[in-house]
Amino acid sequence: MMRFSKRDFLRSVAGIGALSAFRPALASPTGFWEDIRAAYGVTDSFIQLENGYYSLASNEVLEPYLRHIQDINKVSSYYMRTRQADDKLASRTAVAELLGCGPEELIITRNTTESLDTIISGIDWKAGDEAIMAGQDYGAMLDMFRLMSRRHGIVNKVLSIPNQGISDDELVRLYESAITPKTRLLMVCHLINITGRIMPVRQITEMAHRHGVEVLVDGAHAFAHLDFRIADLGGCDYYGSSLHKWLGTPLGAGLLYVRKDKIRGIWPLFGDSSFADDDIRKLNHTGTHPVATDLAI
């Protein structure tokens, strides 16, 4: 059987010239891919090709994460009452810097579903309000919109995005065609996990804002995968992602960005009188949780 290495694969799809930046690493004694392989404690029982669900943490992340668990366990509630808030702020600040926003606009959640469902359930819906989404959006968010329809009487308008043969301009027009005076929220994937299509989020956001419609972006597969900052997305109102996908944190970390002027209008999922209505931390009251995950970020 012919062996086909990753190096050969890259040459075949990108061309030898495109690999010039990799040549020093590829020519090293151990080789580029061997170095990458050594950074992860992967199983030898099968070949893992699905990294979108969550990407395993590298040894450089996993080892400190395990130490955090042990260290916090030794001091238990003393840590939680004295250090937890400051350490969590440091992690929030680091993630906010990567996204290109301030820590006052971002919280660390458990995953994209928690982040986006916090917004979908937190909007002050009225019967007859409309929300726009696509059938290719993630099922958990579609479920939450269906729940809001049952609970508040909102109308969900579900588009279908063709797998191919549609331009960015046509996508913008597709979403725009669904907007009416009753439309309050438009949800769009930054990168559709089913097809890999990178959506024109900036253009869709700018179009929606011209109609007075807020935009919620599902960035589960985009953050730390694509090179962007929140300012590149046309001033979207809300953005959610999972950090245990392409950023490679331990399982159970996500982010929620809420544009500062939109924080006041979102109802928290769980009541918390500790923070003002315009403080994003009001949306982060989930009780006692495994803080070692936050520290490992």
What pLDDT band is residue 37 in, cutting at 50, 70 and 90? confident
For 55, the token pair is 């990407």
Q: What is the pLDDT of residues 189-204, one digit of tens each?
A: 999 998 999 999 999 9
Collect all residues with Cβ–Cβ distance below 8 Å to 149 and sequence separation of at least 6: 155, 156
Q: What is the pLDDT of residues 229-274, one digit of tens each?
A: 999 999 999 999 999 999 999 999 999 999 999 999 999 988 888 8
Phi and psi (nearest 5°) for 267?
-80, 135
- Is the pLDDT at 24 greater than 60? The verdict is no
What pLDDT band is residue 1 in, cutting at 50, 70 and 90? very low
Q: What is the DSSP letter of 46?
A: S
Collect all residues with Cβ–Cβ distance below 8 Å to 64 and sequence separation of at least 6: 295, 296
Domains of the chain: 6-56 (no CATH), 66-296 (3.40.640.10)
Task: Give the residue, 286 or 291, on which the prediction is more confident.
Answer: 291
- CB–CB of 194/200 below 8 Å? no
Collect all residues with Cβ–Cβ distance below 8 Å to 161 and sequence separation of at least 6: 134, 135, 136, 171, 174, 192, 197
What pLDDT band is residue 162 in, cutting at 50, 70 and 90? very high
